[in-house]
């Protein structure tokens, strides 16, 4: 059994969907689970729906309609017969979205987010499953919410591995081509949960673990894992092989090509991960597995933008010690702030944070009661794995470095 994952860029329009068919025909599709993300920028569009639901309900209907017309255009290109059952199926999914937004009583943003945003994946997989059947690739559409069971930590749910294993074993027909969604799960009450932004890679790893799959392949618009994101760096190089350990390190520091949670279940069962190009599916791409850390061994650059650097110091010049730090980290946890870098001295404590759940301002208000606080917003955190002097100088050039931290293999710079 193999597991494939196609991201939003690989199914962004009708031509991209046709290319998925080409890839499956070239590399084979029997005994395969195919995980598909929302089409193009649909997740972003559905996030706008959720934002409008809480801030300006008059906009909701129009924003939902925009998402529908985007998918309708793809449907019209793929299916000549506008009475094809796929139109009804997709319309019903959009009616479910509208229905939820009409009757929902929950004031919790994270809960509403998960119930609404996940329809991007449900719609994309419905369209692609029907199209595959249309062109002769018989498949079974599966609702991944019946497979992956989680807790109720909406927007960042934790997997219940025992229940998920039972569901996957009983629900998936491993002798067929299965089409299902990334990013989604469900709680004990069958409300939709999500596994974190860009969580479709993690979905692939979860299902591969439960299926004892022979491999996972993530299909991307790049030739594999590069030593830097080509959107932010010039002259990138392909990494041919990466160990599980090194891939986990790169993902932890923010390498966008692999979701941070993806590697751990694969490593536990030594399931190889391939990252390959959906433009050139026969190329080798990158393989993540057992073996040497990285090949070729060159500096790898990672950047996280829109970060927050907070510098805390005691009001009375007393030491910042364990009890202070534990209180500080409790605040980070309570306000759902992700810690990316820590540096401390006797009377000061610096931390670089990801404010992805917008908890910064209320947290700062609490910190200012006990500490002197200096806050730098909109900073960038650069990480270089396997750094050398030239690679560090290339990042320092012309930038204001607020924090620098070096280890044996890694250097991190917070720059403004």
Q: Largest Cα–Cα distance in the chain?
A: 75
Rounded distance, CA 35 to CA 263, Å? 17
Query: What DSSP character marks residue 9?
Result: G
SS3 414: strand
Which two tokens mark 360?
């910064």
Cross-strand pairs, 401:
415
The CATH T-level fold of domain 2-213 is Carbamate kinase (3.40.1160)
pLDDT (tens place) for every residue of the chain, 416 residues total = 999 999 999 999 999 999 999 999 999 998 999 999 999 999 999 999 999 999 999 999 999 999 999 999 999 999 999 899 999 999 999 999 999 999 999 999 999 999 999 999 999 999 999 999 999 999 999 999 999 999 999 999 999 999 999 999 999 988 899 999 999 999 999 999 999 877 899 999 999 999 999 999 999 988 999 999 888 898 899 999 999 989 888 888 888 767 768 889 999 999 999 999 999 999 999 999 988 788 899 999 999 999 999 999 888 777 777 778 888 999 999 999 999 999 988 888 899 999 988 899 999 999 999 899 999 999 999 999 999 999 999 998 888 999 999 999 999 999 99
Helix or strand holding residue 297 (H, E): none
The region, left, alpha or beta by phi > 0 then psi within -120 to 50, assigned to residue 403 is: beta
**Around Cβ 68, how many Cβ atoms within 10 Å?**
18
Rounded distance, CA 355 to CA 339, Å? 9
- On the CB side of 17, CA atoms within 13 Å amount to 27
Q: Is 231 annotated as a binding residue?
A: yes
Q: Which CATH superfamily is domain 300-415 in?
A: VC0802-like (3.30.2130.10)
Handedness of CA 126, 127, 128, 131 (dihedral sign): positive
Domain boundaries, the chain: 2-213, 300-415
Asked if 314 and 347 touch (Cβ cutoff 8 Å), the reply is yes
Whose CA is closest to 382, among 307, 318, 327? Answer: 307
């Amino acid at each position: 059994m193999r597991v494939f994952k196609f991201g939003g860029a690989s199914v962004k329009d009708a031509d991209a969907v046709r290319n998925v068919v080409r890839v499956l025909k070239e590399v084979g599709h029997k005994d395969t689970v195919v995980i598909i993300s929302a089409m193009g920028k649909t997740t972003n569009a559905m996030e706008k729906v959720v934002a409008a639901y809480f801030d300006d309900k008059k906009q909701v209907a129009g924003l939902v309609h925009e998402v529908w017309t985007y998918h309708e255009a793809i449907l019209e290109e793929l299916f000549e017969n506008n009475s094809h059952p796929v139109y009804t199926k997709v319309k019903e999914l959009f009616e479910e979205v509208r229905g939820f937004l009409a009757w929902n009583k929950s004031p919790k943003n994270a809960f509403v987010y998960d119930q609404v945003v996940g329809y991007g994946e449900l719609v994309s997989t419905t369209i692609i499953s029907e199209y595959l059947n249309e062109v002769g690739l018989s498949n079974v559409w599966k609702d991944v919410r019946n497979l992956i069971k989680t807790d109720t930590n909406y927007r960042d749910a934790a997997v219940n591995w025992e229940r998920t294993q039972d569901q996957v074993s009983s629900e998936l027909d491993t002798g067929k081509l299965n089409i299902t969604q990334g990013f989604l799960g469900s709680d004990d009450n069958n409300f939709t949960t999500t596994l974190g932004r860009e969580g479709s890679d993690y979905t692939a790893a979860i299902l591969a673990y439960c299926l004892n799959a022979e491999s996972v392949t993530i299909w991307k618009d790049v030739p594999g894992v590069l030593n830097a994101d080509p959107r932010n760096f010039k002259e990138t190089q392909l990494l041919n092989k990466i160990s599980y350990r090194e891939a986990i390190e790169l993902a932890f520091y923010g390498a966008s090509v692999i979701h941070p949670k993806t590697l751990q279940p694969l490593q536990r069962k030594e399931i190889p991960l391939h990252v390959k190009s959906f433009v050139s599916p026969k190329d080798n791409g990158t393989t993540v597995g057992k073996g040497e850390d990285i090949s070729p061994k060159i500096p790898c650059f990672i950047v996280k933008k829109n970060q927050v650097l907070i510098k805390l110091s005691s009001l009375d010049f007393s030491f910042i010690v364990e009890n202070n730090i534990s209180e500080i980290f409790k605040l980070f946890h309570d306000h759902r702030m992700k810690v990316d870098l820590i540096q401390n001295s006797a009377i000061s404590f610096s931390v670089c944070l990801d404010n992805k759940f917008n908890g910064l301002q209320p947290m700062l208000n609490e910190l200012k009661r006990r500490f002197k606080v200096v806050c730098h917003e909109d900073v960038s955190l650069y990480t270089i794995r396997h750094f050398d002097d030239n690679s560090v100088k290339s990042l320092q050039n012309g930038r204001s470095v607020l924090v620098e931290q070096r280890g044996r293999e890694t250097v991190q710079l917070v720059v403004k």
